[in-house]
Amino acid sequence: MLKVVVGHSDDPSSKDAVLEAIEQCLSALNGVTPQAGILFVGIDFEYALILQEIHRVFPSIELIGCTTDGEMSSVMGFQQDSLTLMLFSSDTVEIHAGVGVKTQEDAIAAAQQAVQQAMQKSQQPAKLCITIPASYTADGTTTSGESILTGLNLALGHQVPVVGGAAGDQFRFQTTYQFCGTEVFTDALPVLIFSGDLHISFGTGCGWQPIGQKSVVTRADGTVLYEIDGKPAIEFYQRYLGDRHPTAENPLAVYTGESDRYYMRVPNTYNPETNGINFLGNIPEHATVQVTEISRDQVVEAAETSFKTALERYPGTEPEAVLLFSCCCRRWLLGTRAKDEYQLVKNALPRPIPICGFYTYGEFAPLEAHGQNYYHQETFITLLLGTH
């Protein structure tokens, strides 16, 4: 059995918002005590107060959370500047929280710290890891999604799916906040690890369409791309964009091995002195890439594709919870149509199921049902959970 409930409030008062969300959860729990939860909140709330109220009502709860670039739930749909709380209770599934700190200094050590903290409370092997780590730190630098993923893979083993998204701060790119228990962090890696009799599935969708020929990265250093097919990377982009510099509207599709599956990398800045294009994620040398173009209709429809893929892969009969992680760039580029992403998922559900999610600064999920974990951008991730 897995019982999942959701509370959601857009009250500007932190105390009133959390009390409203808790009351909604208590009503749906109908006397059941939750063992774990995930909290997503807008950047301007009083986080310590919110965490204290949740633990006052649920003193033994294993809780993680983060700030966002927008929130989604089955209670209020898509919102900004709101608070949403998903709670889990089960007699067959163990759910434990952990947190690692100083991800900017050593993301691998932070990941191992978080996993160890969670797993030392568990009696069974990990089945799923949900993570919602730091992204932009106080000085404006980024925490590497790839380093976080490397650390989680080392700590958990590559067979454990890692799904989630990086914390946001509504495009301010100053400081994101993460939560574990009653503590508030600015450079941390919270995890919620599920073990036991649990069915899971996931799906990804982006909607950007690769155009032109496939090419090979011949020179790159971390997040900076210098050459494609032996020529300056900017020339590769100019072939399709003319004099326009690459932006989030034209990310690179990075292919995985010989597969036709790809993940996205978003260009950030161009340095004319070095001819380097800096991306919001690592670009591996020798990778096959294509430039992409945006169709807003297809970007919206990718949310439904993501959900339907997850539903087709679901190994049980009926999921009991839906978690959604969508990129902040999608919300920004879609504008008023961002709400349609959630609506498409809701409309595709066979029956009402608790939904919770947020807009992220980078997403985590495997591309294949039993494949390796990837760090994504401009992607919509669906995670389904259940015991049936």
The residues spanned by each domain of the chain are 2-204+299-386, 209-293
pLDDT the model gives residue 138 = 47
pLDDT the model gives residue 136:
62
**Residue 143: pLDDT band with limits 50, 70, 90:** low
What's this model's pTM, rounded to 2 decimal places? Answer: 0.95
User: Given pLDDT bands bounded at 50, 70 and 90, which one contains residue 325?
Assistant: very high
- 43: amino acid identity, one letter: I
Mean pLDDT (whole number) for 28-53: 97
Q: Average model confidence (pLDDT) for the chain?
A: 93
Task: Check whether 140 has a pLDDT greater than 90.
Answer: no
Identify the top-confidence range among 50-59, 286-295, 331-340, 341-350: 50-59
Residues 6+ apart with CB under 8 A from 223: 268, 278, 279, 280, 281, 282, 283
- Measure Cα distances from 198 to 3, 245, 251, 267, 319 in Å: 12, 46, 35, 38, 10
